Amino acid sequence: MVLLRGLLFTIAIIIAAYALIAAVLYLMFFVDACISTTRSRISVAGLGFQVEDTNCDTLAKEEWVSVYGFADRDRGRTLLFRYSPASYHLPLPTIEVPDQRTIIIAIPIVSSVYSKLDSWHNHSIRYDIGHIDYP
Amino acid sequence: MSDHPNLPFGHNTLKLRAVFVPDGADVSTAGIVQAVGPHPVMIRAVRVPEGGALPGYPYEHIGQAVFIPDSDDRNTPAFTSRRDPSRMSLSGAARLSAPSRTDDSRAQDDNALANRRWPGCPLASIAGPWAPPANPTGDNGSSGGSARRRGVRSAQANFSAAVPTPHVDTSRDAIDAAVNALSARPAKWDDASATSLAASAIRSGALLPPLQFPADLISAATGDQLSIARPDARPNRLVSDKAPEQQPRAADVTPPPSDESVAVVLPNGSTIPDPYSPTGRLMSPVADLAPVAAAGRRARRTYQTMLHNPKTMVGALPLFAIDTLIHLGQGGLFDYQRRGNHLTGFEHFRQYQDVSNFNVGLFCQQAGLSLENALIAAGSYARVFSGNAKPDRPYGLDPQTYEFIKAGYQAGQSGAFDHPLSPK
């Protein structure tokens, strides 16, 4: 009985130690692992756009850029385009609204494309992507 | 170099390729990339009128150079009113020579570019290198020149430059040499209806990233000088008294990351290609990654020692995880892309993302993990904590991240970091 109690106590101590370690690791390395920065915010033809850069640092280090759209009728923002930038020194995408039906998002080079919306808010979205490293 | 077979340049010679767009037009980066290749480097530049004071840091005066026009340029009425370029000189450098446009395939590419439309590009609606002639009948208007070059001024010239002395920090050697070699004595740019220029430079057989200049460069008048700010320029960054190979190799202790980028140098003296870097090489705050490998080996030894001791075996795995995270996790010793802590906040260095991923692969390899386990671990953490999983990609990782973790692993696997005292 005493042996069993000692074993259970030891197991409990180990589990508690693991939990404590896990909690500390979580707080140290995984809370706020992602940092998002608004790189630009523009308003074109009554439509608002926001370009946001997000860097996540877990074990792997990843970065992506998101283009969000705002419209008067929208309460929130809509993700239009998300991609992984090929390099830190390359320019951000440019956004144009040449007419009432079209939005043009242009970027010379990206590493990979995560998502892109084909239309939004009665506008078709055209993508002018010069090169995709990982199509 | 396969793209540039006609470039028998000497050691200190640069070849520049320029694409001009009309006055008032913004240059499209997408168009530039299409014209001169990916990874353009943005360099701020200012024009200094003749007799004007130089702007100083962060701008670096780069002297003057000669523009040698091709035959099409000579045919323009505007050119004939300019000073004879053959009388111009290049400060501190040899006389220039111009390749024949007809012999250069790139020149033909320019003309091809002049007649294509960049789909969806902001420039698509205006005359420029990415747009067709405004008048399909070939009316040249007042700008002169042949019909196919209306609104398009493509030029190519060789620039000779002295290699900066004393020794230039090799991490930026190529770009700095290019910047030092560039100059603004554009015989025709003063009155050409051009506002922007993109150029790629080739030096010593190595392709440099294209350099893009702002509009005011093109409007330089004869006799003006040009100053260019080096990318990420900082005082005293350029000149070093010692060549890197003469500098002492870092001890098995990690120096604090600095803001100075240097190329990673493997123990065998080679550098690591990085197509995403402006220099073409993997850049890091420290050149020597041996401490990363050494820390990985230490983690492996500690893990094995604890695992084989019944009293400590239960803590072996957690300690290994902690060891790994301390070195590679957010703000870790070898996580060069982030510095700081949760209390004071983290500072992000985007330029070191690739080398930080490289370190993950190198550390894991030296710690005894298989490549698959390293990638699974990295992908799993990313999936849980970054919220941006890519199920269609190997291990759910971003392809570029995957590539650099793998490259780091393979560098360790190659034996380049094997240590005499290594248990391997």
Contact B276 A35 (CB under 8 A): no
* Residue B358: per-residue pLDDT: 94
- Give the list of residues 6+ apart from residue A133 with CB closer than 8 angstroms, or none: A86, A109, A110, A111, A112, B399, B400
User: Using one digit for the tens of pLDDT, what is the confidence trace for B139-165?
Assistant: 333 333 333 333 333 333 323 232 222
- Which of B6-20, B50-64, B289-303 has maximum average pLDDT? B289-303
Q: Is residue B97 part of a domain?
A: yes
Q: Is residue B419 part of a domain?
A: no
* Residue B249: per-residue pLDDT: 33
pLDDT at A128 over 80: yes
Among candidates A17, A61, A90 on the partner chain, residue whose Cβ is nearest the Cβ of B356:
A61
Domain boundary (B197, B229, B261) is at B229
Domain boundary (B229, B264, B298) is at B229
- One domain, residues B126 and B274: no
pLDDT at B399 over 70: yes
Q: Which segment of A63-67, B107-111, B355-359 scores lowest on mean pLDDT?
A: B107-111
Higher-scoring residue by pLDDT: A19, B156: A19
Domain boundary (B173, B202, B229) is at B229
User: Using one digit for the tens of pLDDT, what is the confidence trace for B360-377?
Assistant: 999 999 999 999 988 988
With H, G, I as helix, E, B as strand and everything else as coil, classify residue B198: strand
Q: Is residue B115 part of a domain?
A: yes
Q: Is residue B98 part of a domain?
A: yes
- One domain, residues B81 and B213: yes
- One domain, residues B295 and B216: no
pLDDT at A58 over 50: yes
Contact A25 B337 (CB under 8 A): no
Instruction: Pick the closest to residue B294 from B363, B368, B370 (CA basis).
Output: B363
- One domain, residues B215 and B263: no
pLDDT at B384 over 50: yes
Chain A residues with CB-CB distance to B38 below 8 A: 86, 108-109, 130-131
DSSP line for A68-107: EEE-TT-SS-EEEEEEEES-TTSPPPEEEEEETTEEEEEE
Contact A54 B330 (CB under 8 A): no
Within B291-344, strands assigned E span: 338-341
Measured CA to CA in angstroms, residue B229 lies from A23, B56, B60, B363 at distances of: 47, 9, 6, 37
Q: Is B44 on the interface with A (CB under 8 A)?
A: no
* Residue B50: per-residue pLDDT: 54
Q: Is residue B7 part of a domain?
A: no
Q: Is residue B6 part of a domain?
A: no
> Region B46-63: what's the mean pLDDT?
52
* Residue A66: per-residue pLDDT: 94
Q: Is B36 on the interface with A (CB under 8 A)?
A: no
Domain spans of chain A, in order of start? 1-31, 34-132
> Region B334-359: what's the mean pLDDT?
86
User: Using one digit for the tens of pLDDT, what is the confidence trace for B238-282?
Assistant: 222 233 333 333 333 344 445 578 888 888 888 888 888 878 888
Output the average pLDDT for chain B: 55
- Integer Cα distance of B359 and B365 in angstroms: 10
Higher-scoring residue by pLDDT: B37, B178: B37
- One domain, residues B315 and B409: yes
Split into its structural domains, chain B has a count of: 2
* Residue B361: per-residue pLDDT: 93
- One domain, residues B216 and B272: no
pLDDT at A34 over 50: yes
- One domain, residues B213 and B117: yes
Q: Is residue B145 part of a domain?
A: yes
pLDDT band at B415, cuts 50/70/90? confident
pLDDT at B48 over 70: no
- One domain, residues B198 and B276: no
What is the value of ipTM here, to two decimals?
Answer: 0.83
pLDDT band at A67, cuts 50/70/90? very high
Q: Is B27 on the interface with A (CB under 8 A)?
A: no
Helix ranges, chain A (H): 2-25
pLDDT at B236 over 70: no
Count CB pairs under 8 A between chains A and B: 170
Residue B126's domain comprises: 13-229
- One domain, residues B256 and B331: yes
